[in-house]
Structure 1
């Protein structure tokens, strides 16, 4: 004997708009690549700005000494 189903039985997957967990895991490598590339590009283009140099780059633990300028006393105009 065949059982009769009166309506479709389904569950809704966890989603945020059109983004589901499956979509997010499949796009994760691309998002990480483009996110790191854009962050690196931001660092490259803001390297010459004194505000960024003093606020961010000089405070990086190992590489911060690259952006610290040391002027010899005989070269200082004061």
Structure 2
């Protein structure tokens, strides 16, 4: 005997909650992706600042990176006084 399913729409009360599926890709919602992006960016910025702060004393880092910063680059220029020049 063949059974045939009849698909009928379910009754929805006009007084009940209006639920809709939100935008998502697996467990990732736009709100979650935004929050994770901001958090990751903040941690990355702090890590970059810490790495430059600790490597500030290395002359190669000072000349290749820090002196090329547009506004604050002149802070890291180390001029040798004439009295310390052996020639």
TM bracket (short chain): 0.5 to 0.7
Q: Look up the match of 2:16.
A: none
Q: Look up the match of 2:62.
A: 53
- The alignment's TM-score, normalised by the length of structure 2, stands at 0.61
Larger radius of gyration: 2
Q: Look up the match of 2:81.
A: 72
More strand by percentage: 1
How many residues were matched structurally?
Answer: 70
Structure 2 counterparts to residues 2-41 of structure 1, below 5 A: 3=8, 13-14=24-25, 19=28, 21-41=30-50
Structure 2: distance between partners of 1:30 and 1:57 = 26
Structure 2: distance between partners of 1:19 and 1:34 = 20
* Aligned-residue offset at 1:13: 4.2
* Aligned-residue offset at 1:19: 5.0
RMSD: 2.9
Unaligned stretches of 5+ residues in structure 1: 5-11
Unaligned stretches of 5+ residues in structure 2: 1-5, 10-22
- The alignment's TM-score, normalised by the length of structure 1, stands at 0.66
